[in-house]
Amino acid sequence: MDDDILLVDDDPNTIRVLATILADIGSLSFAISGEDALRMAHESPPDLILLDAEMPGMSGFLVCEALKADRDLAHVPVIFVTSHCEPAFEVSGFDLGAADFIGKPLNAALVLARVKAQLRIKRLADELRLTAVTDGLTGVGNRRRFDRALEQEWSSARREGDALGLLMIDVDHFKAFNDLYGHPAGDACLRSIAQAMLRACLRPADLVARYGGEEFAVLLPKTTQIGAEHVARAILDAVGALAIAHEGSATAAHVTVSVGIASCHADSTPRLPVMVDCASGGCIAKDLVRAADEALYAAKSAGRNRASAQDVDGAGTSTWPAGVDVARRGPRGTDSSERLGSQGAGLLSATRSADPVCASTGAGHDQ
Ligand code: GH3
Ligand code: MG
Ligand code: MG
Ligand code: MG
Protein backbone atom coordinates (compact mmCIF):
# COMPACT_ATOMS: atom_id res chain seq x y z
CA MET A 1 0.00 0.00 0.00
CA ASP A 2 1.19 3.50 -0.86
CA ASP A 3 2.49 5.69 1.96
CA ASP A 4 0.82 9.10 2.22
CA ILE A 5 3.31 11.97 2.38
CA LEU A 6 2.31 15.56 3.06
CA LEU A 7 4.68 18.23 1.71
CA VAL A 8 4.41 21.61 3.43
CA ASP A 9 6.28 24.70 2.18
CA ASP A 10 5.28 28.30 1.46
CA ASP A 11 7.55 28.16 -1.60
CA PRO A 12 5.84 26.27 -4.48
CA ASN A 13 9.24 25.72 -6.12
CA THR A 14 10.50 23.69 -3.16
CA ILE A 15 7.30 21.63 -3.21
CA ARG A 16 7.81 21.00 -6.94
CA VAL A 17 11.41 19.80 -6.40
CA LEU A 18 10.40 17.56 -3.46
CA ALA A 19 7.50 16.14 -5.47
CA THR A 20 9.83 15.21 -8.33
CA ILE A 21 12.27 13.49 -5.96
CA LEU A 22 9.51 11.57 -4.12
CA ALA A 23 7.25 10.81 -7.11
CA ASP A 24 7.76 7.03 -6.85
CA ILE A 25 7.84 6.79 -3.06
CA GLY A 26 4.23 7.33 -2.08
CA SER A 27 1.10 9.27 -2.67
CA LEU A 28 1.83 12.98 -2.26
CA SER A 29 -0.30 15.89 -1.10
CA PHE A 30 0.70 19.53 -0.67
CA ALA A 31 0.06 22.50 1.62
CA ILE A 32 1.53 25.99 1.34
CA SER A 33 0.69 27.16 4.88
CA GLY A 34 0.82 25.75 8.40
CA GLU A 35 -2.92 26.15 8.83
CA ASP A 36 -3.66 24.19 5.64
CA ALA A 37 -1.19 21.50 6.71
CA LEU A 38 -2.95 21.01 10.07
CA ARG A 39 -6.39 20.91 8.44
CA MET A 40 -5.27 18.33 5.86
CA ALA A 41 -3.52 16.20 8.49
CA HIS A 42 -6.72 16.18 10.56
CA GLU A 43 -8.87 15.18 7.60
CA SER A 44 -6.60 12.29 6.68
CA PRO A 45 -3.51 11.59 8.84
CA PRO A 46 -0.51 11.05 6.54
CA ASP A 47 2.36 8.60 7.12
CA LEU A 48 4.99 11.35 6.97
CA ILE A 49 5.13 15.14 6.89
CA LEU A 50 7.95 17.11 5.29
CA LEU A 51 7.65 20.50 6.95
CA ASP A 52 9.28 23.80 6.03
CA ALA A 53 10.59 25.32 9.25
CA GLU A 54 10.23 28.95 8.11
CA MET A 55 6.82 29.98 6.85
CA PRO A 56 4.97 33.28 7.20
CA GLY A 57 2.12 33.11 9.73
CA MET A 58 2.26 29.73 11.41
CA SER A 59 5.89 28.56 11.43
CA GLY A 60 6.89 24.93 10.94
CA PHE A 61 7.85 24.73 14.62
CA LEU A 62 4.34 25.81 15.65
CA VAL A 63 2.80 23.28 13.27
CA CYS A 64 5.00 20.53 14.72
CA GLU A 65 4.02 21.54 18.25
CA ALA A 66 0.31 21.37 17.35
CA LEU A 67 0.73 17.97 15.68
CA LYS A 68 2.53 16.47 18.68
CA ALA A 69 -0.11 17.81 21.07
CA ASP A 70 -2.89 16.07 19.12
CA ARG A 71 -3.57 12.47 20.23
CA ASP A 72 -4.61 11.43 16.71
CA LEU A 73 -1.60 12.96 14.97
CA ALA A 74 1.25 12.76 17.49
CA HIS A 75 2.52 9.51 15.95
CA VAL A 76 2.97 11.03 12.45
CA PRO A 77 6.71 11.58 11.87
CA VAL A 78 7.80 15.09 10.91
CA ILE A 79 10.98 15.87 8.95
CA PHE A 80 11.90 19.55 8.98
CA VAL A 81 13.12 20.96 5.69
CA THR A 82 15.29 24.01 6.41
CA SER A 83 18.25 26.10 5.36
CA HIS A 84 19.26 26.46 9.03
CA CYS A 85 21.91 23.94 9.96
CA GLU A 86 23.01 25.27 13.36
CA PRO A 87 23.01 22.53 16.04
CA ALA A 88 20.86 24.62 18.44
CA PHE A 89 18.19 24.99 15.75
CA GLU A 90 18.07 21.23 15.13
CA VAL A 91 18.06 20.50 18.87
CA SER A 92 14.99 22.73 19.32
CA GLY A 93 13.26 20.82 16.50
CA PHE A 94 14.04 17.44 18.02
CA ASP A 95 12.80 18.75 21.39
CA LEU A 96 9.46 19.49 19.70
CA GLY A 97 9.25 15.89 18.50
CA ALA A 98 10.73 16.14 14.99
CA ALA A 99 12.00 12.85 13.55
CA ASP A 100 14.75 14.28 11.34
CA PHE A 101 16.06 17.27 9.37
CA ILE A 102 16.71 17.78 5.66
CA GLY A 103 18.92 20.74 4.67
CA LYS A 104 18.31 23.17 1.83
CA PRO A 105 19.50 23.23 -0.88
CA LEU A 106 17.95 19.81 -1.39
CA ASN A 107 20.07 16.81 -2.26
CA ALA A 108 17.89 14.21 -4.00
CA ALA A 109 19.75 11.14 -2.70
CA LEU A 110 19.70 12.41 0.89
CA VAL A 111 16.01 13.36 0.71
CA LEU A 112 15.16 9.88 -0.58
CA ALA A 113 17.29 8.13 2.04
CA ARG A 114 15.87 10.11 4.97
CA VAL A 115 12.26 9.78 3.78
CA LYS A 116 12.60 6.02 3.21
CA ALA A 117 14.18 5.58 6.66
CA GLN A 118 11.29 7.41 8.39
CA LEU A 119 8.65 5.46 6.45
CA ARG A 120 10.33 2.17 7.48
CA ILE A 121 10.27 3.22 11.14
CA LYS A 122 6.64 4.40 10.83
CA ARG A 123 5.52 1.02 9.42
CA LEU A 124 7.18 -0.82 12.31
CA ALA A 125 5.71 1.58 14.86
CA ASP A 126 2.22 1.13 13.34
CA GLU A 127 2.59 -2.64 13.54
CA LEU A 128 3.71 -2.45 17.17
CA ARG A 129 0.87 -0.12 18.08
CA LEU A 130 -1.65 -2.46 16.50
CA THR A 131 -0.15 -5.52 18.19
CA ALA A 132 -0.30 -3.76 21.55
CA VAL A 133 -4.09 -3.43 21.31
CA THR A 134 -4.94 -6.70 19.52
CA ASP A 135 -5.80 -10.01 21.15
CA GLY A 136 -3.28 -12.56 19.88
CA LEU A 137 -5.68 -15.50 19.80
CA THR A 138 -8.80 -14.03 18.21
CA GLY A 139 -7.57 -10.93 16.35
CA VAL A 140 -10.20 -8.66 17.92
CA GLY A 141 -9.31 -5.83 20.32
CA ASN A 142 -7.63 -6.80 23.57
CA ARG A 143 -8.44 -5.69 27.10
CA ARG A 144 -6.18 -2.63 26.85
CA ARG A 145 -7.99 -1.50 23.69
CA PHE A 146 -11.35 -1.98 25.38
CA ASP A 147 -10.36 -0.11 28.56
CA ARG A 148 -9.09 2.86 26.55
CA ALA A 149 -12.08 2.92 24.21
CA LEU A 150 -14.51 2.71 27.13
CA GLU A 151 -12.96 5.74 28.83
CA GLN A 152 -12.90 7.70 25.56
CA GLU A 153 -16.43 6.79 24.49
CA TRP A 154 -17.78 7.40 27.98
CA SER A 155 -16.30 10.91 28.06
CA SER A 156 -17.46 11.61 24.53
CA ALA A 157 -21.01 10.37 25.29
CA ARG A 158 -21.22 12.61 28.35
CA ARG A 159 -19.85 15.60 26.45
CA GLU A 160 -22.08 15.20 23.39
CA GLY A 161 -25.18 13.90 25.20
CA ASP A 162 -25.09 10.63 23.24
CA ALA A 163 -26.18 7.16 24.30
CA LEU A 164 -23.59 4.43 24.87
CA GLY A 165 -24.31 0.70 24.77
CA LEU A 166 -22.25 -2.16 26.16
CA LEU A 167 -22.61 -5.93 25.80
CA MET A 168 -20.73 -8.45 27.93
CA ILE A 169 -20.66 -11.89 26.31
CA ASP A 170 -19.64 -15.16 27.97
CA VAL A 171 -19.35 -18.54 26.23
CA ASP A 172 -21.63 -21.09 27.90
CA HIS A 173 -20.18 -24.28 29.43
CA PHE A 174 -16.82 -23.57 27.89
CA LYS A 175 -14.85 -25.51 30.48
CA ALA A 176 -16.78 -28.62 29.43
CA PHE A 177 -16.00 -27.81 25.77
CA ASN A 178 -12.25 -27.76 26.51
CA ASP A 179 -12.51 -30.91 28.60
CA LEU A 180 -14.33 -32.74 25.81
CA TYR A 181 -12.63 -31.49 22.64
CA GLY A 182 -9.26 -30.20 23.91
CA HIS A 183 -7.78 -26.72 24.22
CA PRO A 184 -6.76 -26.30 20.54
CA ALA A 185 -10.40 -26.89 19.55
CA GLY A 186 -11.41 -24.46 22.32
CA ASP A 187 -9.07 -21.84 20.88
CA ALA A 188 -10.51 -22.35 17.37
CA CYS A 189 -14.01 -22.01 18.82
CA LEU A 190 -13.10 -18.67 20.47
CA ARG A 191 -11.72 -17.43 17.13
CA SER A 192 -14.94 -18.38 15.30
CA ILE A 193 -17.09 -16.70 17.95
CA ALA A 194 -15.00 -13.52 17.74
CA GLN A 195 -15.43 -13.44 13.94
CA ALA A 196 -19.18 -14.05 14.28
CA MET A 197 -19.41 -11.08 16.67
CA LEU A 198 -17.52 -8.86 14.20
CA ARG A 199 -20.04 -9.83 11.51
CA ALA A 200 -22.91 -8.95 13.86
CA CYS A 201 -21.56 -5.43 14.50
CA LEU A 202 -22.34 -3.31 11.49
CA ARG A 203 -21.11 0.18 12.44
CA PRO A 204 -17.43 1.07 11.99
CA ALA A 205 -17.37 2.63 15.48
CA ASP A 206 -18.51 -0.60 17.19
CA LEU A 207 -15.68 -2.30 19.07
CA VAL A 208 -15.44 -6.04 19.68
CA ALA A 209 -12.82 -6.93 22.28
CA ARG A 210 -11.77 -9.96 24.29
CA TYR A 211 -12.36 -9.02 27.90
CA GLY A 212 -10.52 -12.05 29.24
CA GLY A 213 -10.68 -15.86 28.95
CA GLU A 214 -13.94 -16.82 27.20
CA GLU A 215 -15.53 -13.43 27.80
CA PHE A 216 -15.93 -10.67 25.23
CA ALA A 217 -17.14 -7.08 25.39
CA VAL A 218 -18.82 -5.10 22.61
CA LEU A 219 -18.83 -1.33 22.95
CA LEU A 220 -21.54 0.43 20.95
CA PRO A 221 -21.10 4.22 20.67
CA LYS A 222 -24.24 6.31 20.00
CA THR A 223 -26.40 3.25 20.61
CA THR A 224 -29.53 3.19 22.78
CA GLN A 225 -30.85 0.24 24.76
CA ILE A 226 -33.07 -0.87 21.86
CA GLY A 227 -30.13 -0.71 19.44
CA ALA A 228 -27.92 -2.67 21.84
CA GLU A 229 -30.63 -5.32 22.13
CA HIS A 230 -30.64 -5.72 18.34
CA VAL A 231 -26.88 -6.27 18.30
CA ALA A 232 -27.23 -8.79 21.15
CA ARG A 233 -29.85 -10.62 19.08
CA ALA A 234 -27.54 -10.59 16.04
CA ILE A 235 -24.72 -12.05 18.15
CA LEU A 236 -26.91 -14.83 19.59
CA ASP A 237 -28.03 -15.68 16.03
CA ALA A 238 -24.53 -15.50 14.55
CA VAL A 239 -23.03 -17.77 17.23
CA GLY A 240 -25.97 -20.20 16.87
CA ALA A 241 -25.45 -20.23 13.09
CA LEU A 242 -21.84 -21.37 13.58
CA ALA A 243 -23.38 -24.68 14.77
CA ILE A 244 -20.22 -25.76 16.59
CA ALA A 245 -21.11 -29.12 18.18
CA HIS A 246 -20.95 -29.16 22.00
CA GLU A 247 -22.04 -32.49 23.40
CA GLY A 248 -21.04 -31.44 26.89
CA SER A 249 -23.42 -28.48 27.03
CA ALA A 250 -26.46 -28.70 29.27
CA THR A 251 -28.04 -25.87 27.25
CA ALA A 252 -27.94 -26.91 23.58
CA ALA A 253 -26.31 -29.37 21.18
CA HIS A 254 -24.08 -26.57 19.91
CA VAL A 255 -21.92 -23.82 21.38
CA THR A 256 -23.95 -20.90 22.76
CA VAL A 257 -23.24 -17.61 24.49
CA SER A 258 -25.01 -15.50 27.10
CA VAL A 259 -25.18 -11.73 26.70
CA GLY A 260 -25.55 -8.96 29.28
CA ILE A 261 -26.77 -5.61 27.95
CA ALA A 262 -26.38 -2.18 29.52
CA SER A 263 -26.76 1.28 28.09
CA CYS A 264 -26.82 4.81 29.32
CA HIS A 265 -27.92 8.22 28.18
CA ALA A 266 -25.50 10.89 29.21
CA ASP A 267 -28.27 13.49 29.21
CA SER A 268 -30.30 11.67 31.87
CA THR A 269 -27.95 11.09 34.75
CA PRO A 270 -30.58 9.65 37.14
CA ARG A 271 -31.24 6.85 34.66
CA LEU A 272 -27.63 5.80 34.43
CA PRO A 273 -26.99 2.35 35.83
CA VAL A 274 -25.88 1.73 39.39
CA MET A 275 -27.79 4.36 41.28
CA VAL A 276 -25.57 4.28 44.28
CA ASP A 277 -22.82 6.14 42.45
CA CYS A 278 -25.08 8.21 40.20
CA ALA A 279 -26.94 9.72 43.14
CA SER A 280 -23.82 11.66 44.02
CA GLY A 281 -23.22 12.52 40.36
CA GLY A 282 -20.14 10.32 40.40
CA CYS A 283 -21.12 7.78 37.74
CA ILE A 284 -18.05 6.43 36.00
CA ALA A 285 -17.41 4.22 32.98
CA LYS A 286 -16.92 1.16 35.19
CA ASP A 287 -20.54 1.41 36.31
CA LEU A 288 -21.63 0.57 32.78
CA VAL A 289 -19.45 -2.56 32.89
CA ARG A 290 -20.91 -3.46 36.27
CA ALA A 291 -24.46 -3.10 34.91
CA ALA A 292 -23.67 -5.28 31.87
CA ASP A 293 -22.02 -7.83 34.20
CA GLU A 294 -25.14 -7.99 36.35
CA ALA A 295 -27.30 -8.47 33.25
CA LEU A 296 -24.97 -11.24 32.08
CA TYR A 297 -25.30 -12.94 35.45
CA ALA A 298 -29.09 -12.76 35.05
CA ALA A 299 -28.85 -14.32 31.56
CA LYS A 300 -26.73 -17.15 32.98
CA SER A 301 -29.10 -17.72 35.91
CA ALA A 302 -32.11 -17.75 33.59
CA GLY A 303 -30.76 -20.67 31.54
CA ARG A 304 -27.95 -19.35 29.26
CA ASN A 305 -28.10 -18.98 25.43
CA ARG A 306 -29.97 -15.72 25.94
CA ALA A 307 -29.58 -12.01 26.45
CA SER A 308 -30.54 -10.00 29.47
CA ALA A 309 -30.96 -6.26 29.65
CA GLN A 310 -30.54 -4.13 32.71
CA ASP A 311 -33.59 -1.93 32.74
CA VAL A 312 -31.98 1.33 33.70
CA ASP A 313 -35.37 2.85 34.49
CA GLY A 314 -35.35 0.64 37.55
CA ALA A 315 -38.33 -1.54 36.52
CA GLY A 316 -36.44 -4.82 36.38
CA THR A 317 -34.11 -6.98 34.44
CA SER A 318 -35.62 -8.57 31.33
CA THR A 319 -34.21 -11.72 29.85
CA TRP A 320 -35.04 -13.42 26.58
CA PRO A 321 -33.68 -16.59 25.03
CA ALA A 322 -32.19 -17.11 21.58
CA GLY A 323 -34.91 -17.29 18.94
CA VAL A 324 -37.18 -14.54 20.27
CA ASP A 325 -37.53 -11.58 17.95
CA VAL A 326 -36.39 -8.42 19.69
CA ALA A 327 -38.51 -6.30 17.34
CA ARG A 328 -41.66 -7.75 18.94
CA ARG A 329 -40.57 -6.81 22.41
CA GLY A 330 -42.37 -3.48 22.30
CA PRO A 331 -41.32 -0.07 23.50
CA ARG A 332 -38.96 0.50 26.34
CA GLY A 333 -40.66 0.98 29.70
CA THR A 334 -43.54 -1.46 29.18
CA ASP A 335 -43.80 -4.51 31.36
CA SER A 336 -41.26 -7.14 30.39
CA SER A 337 -43.87 -9.86 29.79
CA GLU A 338 -45.86 -7.50 27.52
CA ARG A 339 -42.69 -6.64 25.62
CA LEU A 340 -42.24 -10.27 24.61
CA GLY A 341 -45.82 -10.68 23.36
CA SER A 342 -47.96 -13.76 23.92
CA GLN A 343 -45.43 -16.11 22.34
CA GLY A 344 -42.47 -14.66 24.16
CA ALA A 345 -44.17 -14.42 27.54
CA GLY A 346 -43.89 -18.16 28.07
CA LEU A 347 -40.17 -17.98 27.34
CA LEU A 348 -39.50 -15.04 29.57
CA SER A 349 -37.31 -15.63 32.56
CA ALA A 350 -37.16 -12.24 34.15
CA THR A 351 -35.31 -11.71 37.38
CA ARG A 352 -36.82 -8.96 39.43
CA SER A 353 -35.74 -7.36 42.61
CA ALA A 354 -37.00 -4.35 44.51
CA ASP A 355 -34.23 -2.28 42.98
CA PRO A 356 -32.37 -4.37 40.43
CA VAL A 357 -30.32 -1.41 39.32
CA CYS A 358 -28.75 -1.20 42.74
CA ALA A 359 -28.94 -4.93 43.40
CA SER A 360 -25.57 -6.48 43.87
CA THR A 361 -25.16 -9.98 42.51
CA GLY A 362 -22.43 -10.52 45.06
CA ALA A 363 -20.65 -12.74 42.60
CA GLY A 364 -19.10 -12.65 39.17
CA HIS A 365 -20.86 -14.24 36.24
CA ASP A 366 -18.55 -17.21 36.04
CA GLN A 367 -20.14 -20.20 37.63
P1 GH3 B 1 -20.57 -20.84 32.16
O2 GH3 B 1 -21.60 -21.35 31.22
O3 GH3 B 1 -21.10 -20.63 33.52
O4 GH3 B 1 -19.89 -19.61 31.65
O5 GH3 B 1 -19.49 -22.00 32.31
P6 GH3 B 1 -18.02 -22.04 31.75
O7 GH3 B 1 -17.55 -23.46 31.80
O8 GH3 B 1 -17.95 -21.38 30.42
O9 GH3 B 1 -17.25 -21.11 32.77
P10 GH3 B 1 -15.92 -21.34 33.58
O11 GH3 B 1 -15.52 -20.02 34.12
O12 GH3 B 1 -16.08 -22.46 34.57
O13 GH3 B 1 -14.88 -21.83 32.53
C14 GH3 B 1 -14.32 -20.98 31.60
C15 GH3 B 1 -13.41 -21.81 30.74
O16 GH3 B 1 -12.84 -21.04 29.69
C17 GH3 B 1 -12.25 -22.38 31.54
C18 GH3 B 1 -11.05 -22.02 30.73
O19 GH3 B 1 -10.19 -23.12 30.57
C20 GH3 B 1 -11.60 -21.61 29.39
N21 GH3 B 1 -10.75 -20.65 28.70
C22 GH3 B 1 -10.44 -19.38 29.07
N23 GH3 B 1 -9.57 -18.83 28.19
C24 GH3 B 1 -9.35 -19.75 27.24
C25 GH3 B 1 -8.54 -19.78 26.06
O26 GH3 B 1 -7.84 -18.83 25.70
N27 GH3 B 1 -8.54 -20.93 25.30
C28 GH3 B 1 -9.29 -22.00 25.67
N29 GH3 B 1 -9.27 -23.10 24.88
N30 GH3 B 1 -10.05 -22.02 26.78
C31 GH3 B 1 -10.08 -20.92 27.55
MG1 MG C 1 9.63 28.89 3.84
MG1 MG D 1 -18.41 -19.28 30.32
MG1 MG E 1 -16.54 -16.67 32.08
**Between the CA of residue 80 and those of 1, 87, 187, what are the distances in Å?**
25, 13, 48
Looking from the CA of residue 304, the nearest atom of ligand 1 is 2
- 214 catalytically annotated: yes
291 C-alpha to ligand 1 centroid (Å): 22
pLDDT mean by block of 10 residues, the chain; 367 residues = 93 97 97 98 98 96 98 97 92 97 96 98 97 98 97 90 94 98 98 98 96 98 93 97 98 98 67 41 80 95 93 57 54 32 28 26 30
Separation in Å, CA 180 to CA 215, 243, 252, 268 = 19, 16, 15, 48
CA of 304 from ligand 3 middle (Å) equals 10
Name, in order, each residue with C-beta under 8 angstroms of 326's C-beta and a sequence gap of 6 or more: 226, 229, 230, 232, 233, 320
CATH of 3-132, one of 4.10.410.60, 3.40.50.2300, 3.50.50.60, 3.30.70.360: 3.40.50.2300
Residue 29: in which H helix or E strand, if any?
strand 26-31
What's the confidence (pLDDT) of residue 281?
A: 54
Q: Comparing C-alpha atoms, which of 279, 348, 343 is closest to residue 316?
A: 348
| Residue from 287, 286, 282, 292 nearest 258 by CA | 292
**What is the topology classification, in CATH, of domain 143-359?**
Alpha-Beta Plaits (3.30.70)
The pLDDT assigned to 60 comes to 97
The whole-number pLDDT of residue 266 equals 52
Please report the pLDDT score of residue 313 as a whole number.
45
Distance 75 CA to ligand 2 centre (A): 24
| 271 C-beta neighbours (distance < 10 Å), count | 16
Return the domain boundaries, the chain. Answer: 3-132, 143-359
Nearest residue by C-alpha to atom 18 in ligand 1? 175
Question: 3-132 with 143-359: one CATH topology?
Answer: no
Q: What per-residue confidence (pLDDT) applies to 316?
A: 55
For residue 171, what pLDDT is reported?
98
What is the pTM for the complete model shown? 0.79
Ligand 1, CB cutoff 6 Å, lining residues? 137, 170-176, 178, 183, 186-187, 190, 213-214, 300, 304, 366-367
The pLDDT of residue 322: 77
Residue with the nearest Cα to atom 13 of ligand 1?
175
Q: Which of 43, 90, 160, 214 is catalytic?
A: 214
